[in-house]
Amino acid sequence: MTTATPAREAAATGEVPGPAGSLRRYGRWWPAAALAALLAAPYSSLPLPGLLDGPIGSAGSLQLLALCLVFGALATGYDLLLGRTGLLSFGHALYFAAGSYATELLMAEAGLPFAAAAALGLCCGVALSAALGSVALRVGGIAFSMVTLAFAQAGSILVERDPGGVTGGEEGRAIPADRLPSSLAGIGNTANLYWIALAYLVLTLAVVHWAVRSPTGRVWEGIKENERRVEVLGLRPYGFKLVAFMLAGALAAVGGVVHLLLTGGATPQTTTSDFTLSLLVMVVLGGSGSRWGPLIGGVLYTWADHRLGDLAGSGAVSDLPSVLRVPLSQPLFLLGALFVATVVALPGGLTRLPARLRGR
Partner 1 sequence: MSTVVLLAVTGLGLGALYFLVAAGLSLIFGLMDVLNFAHGGLLSIGGYATWWAADGHLPGAGGGGPGFVLAVCFGTVVGTAAAMVLELALIRPLYGRPREQVLATVGVGLAVPALLSAIWGPDARPFPGPAALSGTFGLLGAHIPVNRLVLIGAAAAVLVALRLFLGGTRHGLVVRAGVEDRSMVTALGINVRRAFTLVFAIGGAAAALGGALGGLYYGSVDPGQGTSLLIFAFVVVVMGGMGSVAGAALAAVVVGLVQQFANYYTASGLGDLAVVVLLAALLLLKPRGITGRLA
In terms of CB distance, is 211 or 285 closer to partner 1?
285
Span between the terminal Cα atoms of the chain, in Å:
45
Query: What's the closest the beta carbon of residue 115 comes to partner 1, in angstroms?
Result: 33
Query: Hey, how many other C-beta atoms are within 10 angstroms of the C-beta on 2?
Result: 6
Query: What's the closest the beta carbon of residue 281 comes to partner 1, in angstroms?
Result: 7
In terms of CB distance, is 109 or 274 closer to partner 1?
274
Query: What's the closest the beta carbon of residue 19 comes to partner 1, in angstroms?
Result: 25
Query: What's the closest the beta carbon of residue 241 comes to partner 1, in angstroms?
Result: 15
Amino acid at 352: R
Amino acid at 176: P
User: What would the 3-class secondary structure string for 99-129 be?
Assistant: HHHHHHHHHHCCCCCHHHHHHHHHHHHHHHH
In terms of CB distance, is 161 or 209 closer to partner 1?
161
Query: What's the closest the beta carbon of residue 142 comes to partner 1, in angstroms?
Result: 6
Query: What's the closest the beta carbon of residue 329 comes to partner 1, in angstroms?
Result: 5
Sites of contact with partner 1 (CB under 8 A): 88, 135, 138-139, 141-143, 145-147, 149-151, 153-154, 157-158, 160-161, 163, 273-274, 277-278, 280-281, 284, 326-327, 329-333, 335-337, 339-340, 343-344, 347
Whole-angstrom distance, CA of residue 210 vs CA of residue 204? 10
What dihedral do alpha carbons 313, 315, 320, 325 form, nearest 10°?
0
In terms of CB distance, is 151 or 240 closer to partner 1?
151
| Residues 6+ positions from 255 with CB-CB distance below 8 Å | 70, 73, 74, 77, 96, 99, 200, 204
Amino acid at 91: G
DSSP-derived 3-state class of residue 235: coil
Angle at 299 between CA 225 and CA 211, to 5 degrees: 40
In terms of CB distance, is 53 or 231 closer to partner 1?
231
Query: What's the closest the beta carbon of residue 245 comes to partner 1, in angstroms?
Result: 16
In terms of CB distance, is 60 or 170 closer to partner 1?
170
In terms of CB distance, is 181 or 327 closer to partner 1?
327
Q: Which of 91, 95, 92, 97 is nearest to 78 (CA)?
A: 92
In terms of CB distance, is 61 or 267 closer to partner 1?
267
Whole-angstrom distance, CA of residue 299 vs CA of residue 288? 14
Query: What's the closest the beta carbon of residue 337 comes to partner 1, in angstroms?
Result: 5
Burial class (CB within 10 angstroms; exposed 0-12, middle 13-18, buried 19+) of 108: middle
Q: Are 228 and 90 in contact (CB under 8 A)?
A: no
